[in-house]
Structure 1
Amino acid sequence: MRITGLRATPVAVPFVEDEIWAFGGRRGMVSILLEMETDEGVVGLGEAAAYPSADIVLAVFKSIESLVIGESPFNVERIMKRVNIIGTWHHVKSTSTAIAAVEMACWDIVGKVSGQPLVNLFGGRVRDEVEFFYYLSHKPASEMADDAAKGYAEGFRTFYIKVGSMEPSQDIERVEAIRASTGPDAKIRVDANEAWSAAAAIRIVGEMERFGLELVEQPISGRNLAEMAYLRGRINTPLLANEASWTRYDQLELIKAGAADVVSVDNQMDGGLLNLKRGAGLCEVAGLPVLKHSLGELGVAAYAAVHVMASTPNFIYANQGYGSFLADDIIAGASPLPYENGCLAVPEKPGIGIELDAERVAKYAELYESEAENFSFHESEKIASTPLMPKR
């Protein structure tokens, strides 16, 4: 069996409401769906988040096409070595979602031909379902409290909010309101996206901790591991690394520096599902739990990662996802995705175990063609501003 073609389709899927964070807002998500064709008629599915843009992802697909076509999809390691070494992606640590989508499509073919779901190919089930958090959009405290209550009623138990506002008191007020609306058993995770100095993080997290925090995600720069280790020793809440842990190479340095309590791992940033497993294994050896980061995923990428997370012991925290935002999806029979008590069940069919809904794919491909600019962070005031960090 040989790979004969890569067919990429950008799609734009709306959110139920705009995603708002410190640097703007967007009305939905753009992903690039990949269909890997073979000479035996088996088609593998992959998905790449439009990171940093759809145009760049499509250009990467084009640049690596000659390194992939003609290869056997079973030779996952060989293909990735060709992309990384001959394609020179090892210089940037494979941080392209296009590369991960190619690898994902290979695994989908391997599973389909073998008659096995990917979870069996990655070690077998440790768990039958995988938990995700409930992402709360940036709003006034009372409205975020209402949204959290809605998520709690739907069965989610971990609530994620962006912090790093110019006025820290507003973030503290939001945490307090969410705690009041969800009760004592809900977990609240805050993400500052590197917005604070270490001194600011110590002060602000200290204020928030009286309301109970599960994790503090990347409060300071991920490029200064010594400062992260310093901060880790001065707050009571576990420190979650994200921008500091894009790839397994970064995760190795985090471990050596003692700079995190929990590590975020991401197949889309680290060249594929196999590297997701490797990064998690590296952290397990160091005694660290992991969770999966999300650049924004539709059903193909979400379920592909679910297989790996279900087969890997140290995914013990709720993972990132956009279940609270997406109004629809592009897979057959599950649009939007069927979260039960905040969890997605592991598919049982061969490969990733899902199929594309052709009508929805066509609908959202057309939406991308006509309105793509509305699906990126598009607020003119934010685009024109100059972000100043760290905040004090």
Structure 2
Amino acid sequence: MRITAIRATPVAVPYRTIETWAFGRRSGMVSVLVELETDEGLVGLGECATYPSTGIVLSVLDSLKGLVVGADPFRVERLVQRIDVVGTWHHVKATSPAIAAVETACWDIVGKASGQPLVNLFGGRFRDSVEYFYYVASPDIDAVADEGRRAAAAGFRTCYLKVGSERIETDVARVAALREGAGPDMSIRADANEAWSAGAAIRAVRAMEEYGLELVEQPVSGRNLTQMAYVRGRIDTPLLANEASWTRYDQLSVIQHGAADVLSVDNQMDGGLLNLKRSAGIAAAAGMTVLKHSLGELGVALAAATHVIAATPNFRHANQAYGALLTDDITVGFGGGAENYRSGHLPVPDGPGLGVELDRDRVERYAELYRTKGDAEFTFHHPQALTSAPALPKF
């Protein structure tokens, strides 16, 4: 079997509420759907977030054609190594999501050809469903409390919210509102996206700990692991590495520095599903748990990660997903909005390969939305952010 073509289709799916973080906001998600065609009629599906931009992802995919077309999709390791070494892509992290989408599509072909779901190819089911968090995206304190109530009513067990606003007191008030709305049993995860200095991080986290935190995510710069280790030793809440741990090589450094309690791992940021499994193995050898990071994904990429997580023991926390924000999806019966989750869990698809099917009408609808509104509406920007010059840390 040989790969004969790569098809790339950007799609834009709106959110039900605006996503806001320390330096930007967006009202929907753009992903690139990747389809690998073969000379035997099988088509493999992949998907990647448009990180750092749609244009870069599409350019990378176009540049990969000479390395991918004509290759045997069963020889996944050989193909990825060829991309990394011959294509020299291992030097540039921004290319990883596009490469990951190609690798995922190869696995989809392998699963379809062998009649096996991906979970069986990655070790078999350790669990039958995978837990994801509820993303509380609004910065408004009243809305935060309402979202906490919505999450609890839907059966989610973990809520995630962004902190790192212009005042630490605002962040503390938002955490308090989420606790009030979600109730005493909800786990709360706070993500600062590197917004704080060491001293500010310690002060902020200690103030939030009154309301109970499951994890605090990347409170300080991910480039200073000594500082992360310093903060970790002075707070009671476990520290989750994210910007510090986007690749296996970064994760190894975090472990060596004792800079985190939990590692955020990401198949898109590290070039594929095999590397997601490897990341978890590195952490397991160090006696650490992991959870999956998300740059934003629809049902294809979500299904791919769900298979690998289900086959890997040390994914012990709720993983990142965008179900709480999405109004729709491009797949049939998988992913989409929070109403499709069961107590915060998604079942592992049973069908061969990824086990998901595209809804072609919705693919075309959201491809047209991308063509008409595109990156101008669905990227992490707003007028104030485009004219400002933010600096980190904030405090």
In the superposition, the TM-score normalised over structure 2's length comes to 0.98
Give the match for residue 351 of structure 2. Answer: 349
Q: Are the equivalent residues in 2 in contact too, given 1:263–1:290 (CA < 8 A)?
A: yes
Give the partner amino acid of 2:371: E
**Inter-CA distance 77–279: structure 2 relative to 1 (3 Å threshold):** same
Give the partner amino acid of 2:45: L
Q: Are the equivalent residues in 2 in contact too, given 1:94–1:270 (CA < 8 A)?
A: no
Q: State which drifts further: 374-383 or 355-364.
A: 374-383
Give the match for residue 276 of structure 1. Answer: 276
Give the match for residue 66 of structure 1. Answer: 66
What is the correspondence of 1:1-12 to structure 2 with a 5 Å cutoff?
1-12=1-12
| Cα shift at 1:16 | 0.8
| Cα shift at 1:94 | 7.2
Give the match for residue 391 of structure 2. Answer: 388
Give the match for residue 236 of structure 2. Answer: 236
Q: Are the equivalent residues in 1 in contact too, given 2:22–2:193 (CA < 8 A)?
A: no
Identity %: 63
Q: Are the equivalent residues in 2 in contact too, given 1:95–1:268 (CA < 8 A)?
A: no
Q: Are the equivalent residues in 2 in contact too, given 1:95–1:270 (CA < 8 A)?
A: no
Distance of 1:336 and 1:186 partners within structure 2: 22
> Residues 197-242 of structure 1, C-alpha deviation per residue, up to 9 Å, x if partnerless?
0000001101010110000000000001111111110110000000
> Residues 143-198 of structure 1, C-alpha deviation per residue, up to 9 Å, x if partnerless?
20011101110111101110011111111011111111222111010000000000
| Cα shift at 1:93 | 5.0
Q: Count the aligned residue pairs.
A: 392
What is the correspondence of 1:1-392 to structure 2 with a 5 Å cutoff?
1-93=1-93, 95-334=95-334, 336=336, 338-372=340-374, 373-392=376-395
Distance of 2:282 and 2:247 partners within structure 1: 11
Unaligned runs of 5+ in 1: none
Distance of 2:353 and 2:90 partners within structure 1: 28
Distance of 2:213 and 2:21 partners within structure 1: 20
| Cα shift at 1:377 | 2.3
| Cα shift at 1:23 | 1.5
Distance of 1:381 and 1:142 partners within structure 2: 23
Distance of 1:376 and 1:176 partners within structure 2: 29
State the secondary structure of the residue aligned to 1:164: coil
Q: Are the equivalent residues in 1 in contact too, given 2:255–2:286 (CA < 8 A)?
A: yes
Distance of 2:347 and 2:239 partners within structure 1: 28
Distance of 1:239 and 1:333 partners within structure 2: 35
State the secondary structure of the residue aligned to 2:32: strand
Q: Are the equivalent residues in 2 in contact too, given 1:145–1:178 (CA < 8 A)?
A: yes
Q: State which drifts further: 278-287 or 180-189.
A: 180-189
Q: Are the equivalent residues in 2 in contact too, given 1:44–1:106 (CA < 8 A)?
A: yes
In the superposition, the TM-score normalised over structure 1's length comes to 0.98
| Cα shift at 1:25 | 1.6
